[in-house]
Homo-oligomer: A and B are copies of this chain.
Amino acid sequence: MALTPLQQEFVLHFGEMGSRWGINRTVGQIYALLFISSEPLNAETITDALAISRSNTSMGLKELQSWNLVRLKHVPGDRRDYFTTPDDLWEIVRTLVSERKKREIDPTLTKLRELEMQGPAGDDYAEARVAELRELIEMMTGFYAEMEKLETERLVKLMTLGSRIAGLIDKTGGMFPVLTKRK
């Protein structure tokens, strides 16, 4: 499969960004290719479009599957596996955020709690710092858990609302009655 110039450039960009996003070039390219392809692709097609080895494609797809970033499809009468990305971009964002949290945040939160469980270390500053960090992460993951529950429609409204949200909170620390009354 020959790529259009647009596809080509898009794929190469994702490959280059890969390392900043914590995935390797090939994985970035495979994802990009699936993302801008209207139809599901099989491993052979990917291999040939990206000019990589078949085994590299296999490993890349495995990695993307471990991130829940691709969906497996089957074409009747063809026993090869076909892959796509979800049509809904918000679904992709949710997956990405959730997986990154799982890999980049949760292990640290666990470790911080473990460190606190080990009891007084005779190092007040470090202990305070660990506790403070743990509390901050808990606040942020707690907020994330709430946002995760929202339907996409409300999430979008919320984001579009922007800083007008801030007006809801008065500086003294209370909130407007409409908020405390609801739910």
Contacts and interface: CB of A to CB of B under 8 A. Distances in A.
Q: Number of contact residues on A: which range applies?
A: 35 or more
B21 A104 contact: yes
Contacts of A183: 163-164, 167
Contacts of A89: 132-133, 136
30 contacts: A4-B121, A4-B122, A4-B123, A4-B126, A5-B118, A6-B115, A6-B121, A17-B107, A20-B22, A22-B22, A36-B125, A139-B156, A139-B159, A140-B159, A142-B159, A143-B160, A143-B162, A146-B166, A147-B163, A149-B163, A153-B173, A157-B169, A157-B175, A158-B165, A158-B168, A158-B169, A164-B183, A165-B168, A167-B179, A176-B178
A56 B23 CA distance: 25
A126 B17 contact: no
Interface stretch (A7-15, A43-51, A62-70, A75-83): A7-15
B161 A179 contact: yes
A130 B171 CA distance: 41
Interface in A102-119: 103-104, 107-108, 111, 115, 118
The main secondary structure of chain A at its interface with chain B is helix
Nearest to A167: B182
Contacts of A171: 153-154
A4 B125 CA distance: 12
A6 B108 contact: no
